[in-house]
Amino acid sequence: MPKKGAKPATPPKSPAETRAIMKKLEKQHPNADTELHYSTPYELLVATILSAQCTDERVNMVTPELFRRYPDPQAFADAEEGEIAKAIFQTGFHNQKARSLRGAALAVLERHDGKVPRTTAQLVQLPGVGRKTAAVVSGNAFGRREGIAVDTHVGRLTRRLGLTTESDPEKVERDLMEIVPRPAWVEWSHLLIWHGRAVCNARAPRCPECVLLDLCPEGQIRVPRRRTRRTA
């Protein structure tokens, strides 16, 4: 007997099941990719830091002028935090993000000769960079598969699909890394993010029209099977 209040066990999943999920999502969202606009690894690093608690759309509204004013790590390092905070005000948490951006710029200059490090192990050592940001930059800017970026969409869909019972992003990532084929780690995040925005949103998921309905335990609860009428 499980102890009272114990977390229910996650049903065992396999790479075959996650491949089936990906196949359906690839057909539904053939152009899934990061929606952050960038032209260099450093710009992607900055944009990803800004995307915390902010939509990609709003980040993309702010970054063109931001990158014009601060085109490289040296420009961010030379700026006052207050100046940066004003420039990124629309992204929210502007003081904290300004501190992270300037700190990351200084670290890139001092530890990496002004170049964004390629590995997640190095990226997470930069101020304001956690596992998600490191996975986004390492995967999208350098094509490395060293982690799975888990944002709110990825976490929500992963739980709804029964792939984890965890809520902590790093624990969700750990569960996913065991069942998502490594070559697909970057694409997995893109597909779930796009599907989370288009169909499986937080408050009112559109389960009846979801391509994953037959693979989603929560969706099958939300959309009971239709009863067949008995024929005379």
Give residue 13's pLDDT: 74
- Say whether both 113 and 91 belong to one domain: yes
**48 close to 136: Cβ distance less than 8 angstroms:** yes
In a domain, 206, yes or no: yes
Instruction: Give residues with Cβ within 8 angstroms of 9, minimum separation 6.
Output: 165
- Say whether both 136 and 158 belong to one domain: no
pLDDT at 116 over 90: yes
Half-sphere exposure of 32 (CA within 13 A, CB side): 23
Q: Within its chain, how far is the Cα of 223 from the centroid? A: 27
In a domain, 97, yes or no: yes
Give residue 223's pLDDT: 85
Q: Give the residue numbers spanning the domain of 184.
A: 15-32+147-219
Mean pLDDT of the chain: 92
Q: Give 34-83 pLDDT, tens digit per residue.
A: 999 999 999 999 999 999 999 999 999 999 999 999 999 999 999 999 99
In a domain, 10, yes or no: no
- Say whether both 182 and 105 belong to one domain: no
Q: What angle do CA 99, 52, 80 make, to 5 degrees?
A: 20
Work out the burial of residue 47: count CB atoms within 10 Å of its CB; fewer than 13 is exposed, 13-18 middle, 19 or more buried: buried
Give residue 189's pLDDT: 98
Reported as a pLDDT band with limits 50, 70 and 90, residue 225 is low
Q: What angle do CA 92, 148, 33 make, to 5 degrees?
A: 70
- Say whether both 49 and 134 belong to one domain: yes
Q: Which of 131-135, 170-174, 225-229 has the lowest mean pLDDT?
A: 225-229
* 174 φ, ψ (degrees, to nearest 5): -60, -45
Mean pLDDT over 215-226 rounds to 83
CATH no. for residue 177?
1.10.1670.10
Query: Which residue has better confidence, 231 or 35?
Result: 35
- Say whether both 61 and 126 belong to one domain: yes
DSSP-derived 3-state class of residue 222: helix
> Has 151 been annotated as catalytic?
yes
Q: How many domains does the chain have?
A: 2
Give residue 11's pLDDT: 52
Instruction: For residues 93 and 97, give the distance between their C-alpha atoms in angstroms, rounded to a whole number.
Output: 6
- Say whether both 179 and 208 belong to one domain: yes
Return the residue matching tokens 């590995």: 119
In a domain, 75, yes or no: yes
Last residue of a domain, one of 119, 142, 165: 142
| Distance, first Cα to last Cα, the chain | 46
In a domain, 4, yes or no: no
- Say whether both 94 and 120 belong to one domain: yes
Q: Give 7-47 pLDDT, tens digit per residue.
A: 444 455 788 899 999 999 999 999 999 999 999 999 999 99
Of the candidates 151, 168, 171, 214, the residue annotated as catalytic is 151
Last residue of a domain, one of 142, 167, 200: 142
**38 close to 44: Cβ distance less than 8 angstroms:** yes
CATH no. for residue 80?
1.10.340.30
**79 close to 102: Cβ distance less than 8 angstroms:** yes
- Say whether both 61 and 96 belong to one domain: yes
Whole-number Cα distances in Å, 206 to 31, 32, 229: 21, 19, 26
pLDDT at 137 over 90: yes
Of the candidates 13, 24, 97, 132, the residue annotated as catalytic is 132
> Has 171 been annotated as catalytic?
no
Last residue of a domain, one of 142, 170, 188: 142
Mean pLDDT over 92-114 rounds to 98
User: Residue 92 corresponds to which amino acid?
Assistant: G
Instruction: For residues 130 and 20, give the distance between their C-alpha atoms in angstroms, rounded to a whole number.
Output: 29
In a domain, 23, yes or no: yes
Reported as a pLDDT band with limits 50, 70 and 90, residue 5 is very low
- Say whether both 56 and 133 belong to one domain: yes
- Say whether both 215 and 159 belong to one domain: yes
In a domain, 231, yes or no: no
Instruction: For residues 191 and 182, give the distance between their C-alpha atoms in angstroms, rounded to a whole number.
Output: 15
Give residue 6's pLDDT: 43
- Say whether both 136 and 48 belong to one domain: yes
Give residue 12's pLDDT: 56
pLDDT at 114 over 60: yes
In a domain, 191, yes or no: yes
- Say whether both 56 and 127 belong to one domain: yes
